[in-house]
Structure 1
Amino acid sequence: MSDLAKELVVDDVGSGDTVNVCRISVTPLNADVSAVVLDYEVQDNRSPADSAKFIKAISSIVKKYNKKLFLYVNPLNAGGAKTSGLTPELFGDVVDYVDYIGLLITRRKGKALQEDIDDQHGLLAGWGGKLAFVVDISNFTDDEMIVIRKNAFKYKVKFVMLWRNGSSFGDNCSTRSYASVKCLVSGNCSQ
């Protein structure tokens, strides 16, 4: 078995499933591929220790081949984070294994946008320089996009990932989604 195939023996901790060994050829990703995204929205009642073990195992494979790891998660201050084992303790345990973490910025009941961004950022002590925003472009006003844009500067966000969430552009530059992206990226907001 090749070295890479041996590395891919990852215990899917907490699942009770049989561990699978993936046999693949050892041909690293193209050098132009700089990062791998781990979409970590498991919500299966993993413990923080189980989540840390899984994230570290993935990171060790990705790092061996000189790629960066982007951890994408649901809102860090929402119920789903707890059922995914995502706690402040976990973030302290995996900070050195992840290059970027995406804060999902979306409209949530009972939370003002600024409060939500500040709450999520507050859970990531020690993650400065590794933050990304994942922005729902379908439902924000220009005023809200300005808040998101200001926070991208305030928290020194490294990149923004746009989340389509049912929005469309078509050939119409007057859609809400078009206005949101234009406002966020250029600062040219219609207010």
Structure 2
Amino acid sequence: MEATAEVIYCANHPDRETTLRCNKCGKPICSKCALLTEVGYRCRECVRGQQAIFQTAEWYDYVIGGAIALVLSGIITPLGGALGWFAIFLGPIGGTVVAEVVRFAVRKRRGRYFAELVGGAMILGAVPVLLLPLLLLLLFGGAAGLGRLVGLIWPVVFLAMAVGTAYARLRGLTFR
């Protein structure tokens, strides 16, 4: 008695033979389409469908989060940068404060591009603070203006640390 196995092909790549199936929907998938999850291999559609459950942000949450990050960044960047090399340690604290205030304001709802928006808003909020010494250099010139440019190092370090921390706190874990 011979056992013949039925040949199945990937649903997304009809030219590829496979023996693998999604453990949720049962769709045949090749190794390129399969995503390893904690419960086994799943197709991208099932993983996206599961992730969509967690994306609860409304359109106005993006506006609220961006506005709060913009204002808070404009306030904390000069304060954090004025403390010199302490900016290395205070940047993550500033980013945590911004992320948690934003998270509280949007009632802990999450959006797919929310972390990127808050990070961008933080950078935009700090632009006026960072461009002021450049403007003074252009207007008045001289060695005093160059000294102000050197003074931009710590605010930029603070901002980079704060944006990275806020992004990490708001991003969470995602599967791509």
TM-score (norm 2): 0.26
Q: Which has the higher contact order (CA 8 A, sep 6+)?
A: 2
TM-score (norm 1): 0.25
